C-alpha cells in the first residue's frame, strides 16, 4: 500500500509499505481523514522522536521510517473473526494508543486500571511511537480502539476527536488536582474568576470552547495570541483577546483589577511564558502545562514560579478510562461534543489536503503561514 513515510528529519516520501493483516480482534481500515497535529510537525522537524527501543534510546528515522498521523477517521474494510460489533463500511474514529485493554491483557496494569491509559505500562501509539499512523491507504488497529461515528458527521470534523479528547482529559486532570482555586468551588473565595489561555492554535481554541460550552465557565476568559486570525476565532468562541502589542503582565493586571488569573492554560509551548507567570498568575493558582517545546529559556525562570506555590498539571493524550463495552470513554465524550455541535471544529480547519501526494507539501512549511490554524488530509 502507499503511505507518506518520514524517512529522515525534514524528508517525507510517498512510498509503498507493507500491509498489516488484521488479527482476530482487529479491524482493517481505509484511512478516510487524518488531522495534522503539532506533534507531527515536531517529529518531522527533528525536535522530538518518540520511537524508542527497549532501553529508551531513540530509533533514527533513517533506520526505521515513520508513518505519522494519529488523529484518524477510518472506514472498516475487514474485521477479524472475533469482532462482532463492526462491519465493513462502518466509519470510525480511532484511539491510536495501544494499552492493556487494546491487547486484551488481564489483569490491567495499574495505570489502565485507573483510567490513565496513556501511561499504560506497555504503551505504544500509532503515528507517534513507531507503530504506523493514518497517513497511509490502510491501517490495522484493535477493534476496541474504534468508535463508530454518527451518520452525516463530516469526516474532517470527526478527525478532531483525538485533539478534543486531549482537552477533555486535560480538564479532567485539573479537576482531579488538589488546587486552591477550582472552576466550581462551593466557596466563592476559592472559585476561579479569571482564566488566561496562552496560544490560540487548535488546542487553545478547543480549550476556550470547552470552558465556555462544556464546563459552563462564565468568568473572565483571556487569550494571548499574536496571530490576528486566531485571535478573531478566540473571540468568536467566547474569549477576550489581549492586544498582542501590549505587555501581557500589564494587560492581565488591568483586566483583573490587579488580582491576576487563578488559572493559566499554556497551549502555546512558548518558553517565554514561564518568565511571565509570576506576573500573571495569582498565588497558589493553577498552571495547566499542555503545550510542549518551551525553548529559549533557562530553568532558573522556575525559581519565581515555584515561589507562588502553584499547582502544576501536565496531562498527556486523551486518557480517561473505558466504557462498559471496553471502548475509550474520553474519545466517545469528545466525539459526542463534535457530533452534537456543542464544540465547533469546522472554523478551526483552515487547510484541506485531498491525497497522500499532498502530504509532503503539507509538511513543507504551510503550517507556518499566517492563515494556517489546522490542516486535515481527507483521503476518502
Give tens-digit pLDDT for 188-240.
999 999 999 999 999 999 999 999 999 999 999 999 999 999 999 999 999 99
Domain shared by 78 and 182, yes or no: no
Domain shared by 221 and 273, yes or no: yes
Closest CA to 220 of 255, 182, 171, 265: 255
Sign of the torsion formed by the C-alpha atoms of 282, 317, 118 and 338: positive
Q: Is 306 inside a domain boundary?
A: yes
Q: Is 320 inside a domain boundary?
A: no
| Residue-level pLDDT at 54 | 86
Q: Determine the average pLDDT of the residues in 294-308.
A: 91
Secondary structure (DSSP) of 112-160: HHTT-GGG-TT-EEBTTSSB--SSBSEEEEEGGGEEEPPTT--HHHHTT
What domain range includes position 57? Answer: 2-160+349-378
Domain shared by 156 and 9, yes or no: yes
Residue 366: helix, strand or coil by DSSP? helix
Predicted confidence band of residue 245 (pLDDT cuts 50, 70, 90): confident
Closest CA to 267 of 205, 215, 331: 205
CB atoms within 10 A of CB 258: 8
Domain shared by 242 and 191, yes or no: yes
Residue 94: helix, strand or coil by DSSP? strand
pLDDT digits (tens, 9 = 90+) for 137-195: 999 999 999 999 999 999 999 999 999 999 999 999 999 999 999 999 999 999 999 99
Residue 238: helix, strand or coil by DSSP? coil
Domain shared by 199 and 150, yes or no: no
Q: Is 326 inside a domain boundary?
A: no
| 304 vs 295: CA distance, rounded Å | 18
| Residue-level pLDDT at 56 | 87
Final residue belonging to a domain, choices 313, 336, 365: 313
Q: 53: domain CATH number?
A: 3.90.180.10
- Angle, CA of 46, 102 and 55, to the nearest 5°: 45
Q: Is 322 inside a domain boundary?
A: no
Domain shared by 218 and 131, yes or no: no
Q: Determine the average pLDDT of the residues in 365-372.
A: 90
pLDDT digits (tens, 9 = 90+) for 64-108: 999 999 999 999 999 999 999 999 999 999 999 999 999 999 999
pLDDT digits (tens, 9 = 90+) for 101-129: 999 999 999 999 999 999 999 999 999 99
Domain shared by 118 and 18, yes or no: yes
Domain count, the chain: 2
Domain shared by 181 and 90, yes or no: no
Q: Is 107 inside a domain boundary?
A: yes
6 in Cβ contact with 61 (< 8 Å): yes
Domain shared by 25 and 81, yes or no: yes
| Residue-level pLDDT at 294 | 84
| 84 vs 326: CA distance, rounded Å | 14
Q: Is 205 inside a domain boundary?
A: yes
Domain shared by 6 and 111, yes or no: yes
Q: Is 324 inside a domain boundary?
A: no
| Residue-level pLDDT at 230 | 97
Residues 6+ away with beta carbon under 8 Å from 282: 181, 259, 260, 261, 262, 308
Final residue belonging to a domain, choices 269, 289, 313: 313
168 in Cβ contact with 318 (< 8 Å): yes
Final residue belonging to a domain, choices 294, 313, 332: 313
Q: Is 335 inside a domain boundary?
A: no
| 71 vs 95: CA distance, rounded Å | 8
| Residue-level pLDDT at 243 | 86
Is residue 365 scored above 90 in pLDDT? no
Average pLDDT, the chain: 96
Domain shared by 185 and 83, yes or no: no
Domain shared by 224 and 101, yes or no: no
Amino acid at each position: 500500500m502507499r503511505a507518506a513515510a518520514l524517512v529522515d528529519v525534514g524528508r517525507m516520501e510517498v512510498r509503498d509499505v507493507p500491509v498489516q493483516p488484521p488479527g482476530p480482534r482487529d479491524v482493517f481500515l481505509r484511512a478516510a481523514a487524518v488531522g495534522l497535529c503539532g506533534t507531527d510537525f515536531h517529529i518531522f522537524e527533528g525536535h522530538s522522536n518518540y520511537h524508542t527501543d527497549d532501553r529508551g534510546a531513540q530509533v533514527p528515522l533513517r533506520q526505521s521510517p515513520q508513518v505519522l498521523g494519529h488523529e484518524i477517521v477510518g472506514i472498516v474494510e475487514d474485521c477479524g473473526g472475533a469482532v462482532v460489533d463492526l462491519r465493513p463500511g462502518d466509519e470510525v474514529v480511532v484511539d491510536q494508543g495501544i494499552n492493556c485493554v487494546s491487547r486484551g491483557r488481564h489483569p490491567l496494569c495499574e495505570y489502565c486500571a485507573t483510567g490513565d491509559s496513556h501511561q499504560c505500562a506497555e504503551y505504544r501509539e500509532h503515528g507517534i511511537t513507531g507503530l504506523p499512523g493514518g497517513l497511509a491507504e490502510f491501517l490495522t488497529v484493535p477493534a476496541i480502539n474504534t468508535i463508530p461515528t454518527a451518520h452525516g458527521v463530516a469526516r474532517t470534523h470527526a478527525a478532531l476527536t483525538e485533539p478534543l479528547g486531549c482537552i477533555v482529559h486535560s480538564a479532567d486532570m485539573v479537576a482531579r488536582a488538589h488546587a486552591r482555586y477550582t472552576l466550581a468551588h462551593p466557596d466563592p473565595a476559592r472559585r476561579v474568576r479569571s482564566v488566561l489561555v496562552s496560544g490560540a492554535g487548535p488546542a487553545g481554541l478547543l480549550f476556550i470552547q470547552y470552558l465556555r460550552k462544556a464546563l459552563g465557565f462564565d468568568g473572565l476568559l483571556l487569550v494571548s495570541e499574536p496571530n490576528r486570525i486566531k485571535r478573531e476565532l478566540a473571540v468568536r468562541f467566547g474569549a477576550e483577546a489581549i492586544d498582542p502589542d501590549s505587555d501581557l503582565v500589564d494587560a492581565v493586571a488591568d483586566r483583573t483589577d490587579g488580582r491576576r488569573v487563578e488559572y493559566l492554560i499554556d497551549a502555546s509551548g512558548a518558553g517565554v511564558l514561564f518568565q511571565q507567570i509570576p506576573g500573571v498568575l495569582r498565588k497558589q493558582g493553577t498552571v495547566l502545562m499542555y503545550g510542549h517545546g518551551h525553548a529559549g529559556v533557562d530553568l532558573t525562570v522556575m525559581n519565581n514560579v515555584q515561589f507562588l506555590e502553584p499547582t502544576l498539571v501536565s496531562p498527556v493524550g486523551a486518557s480517561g478510562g473505558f466504557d462498559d463495552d471496553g471502548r475509550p470513554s474520553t474519545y466517545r465524550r469528545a466525539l459526542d461534543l463534535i457530533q452534537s455541535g456543542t464544540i465547533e471544529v469546522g472554523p478551526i480547519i483552515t487547510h484541506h489536503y485531498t491525497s497522500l501526494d499532498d502530504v509532503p507539501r503539507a509538511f513543507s512549511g504551510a503550517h507556518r503561514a499566517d492563515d494556517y490554524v489546522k490542516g486535515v488530509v481527507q483521503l476518502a
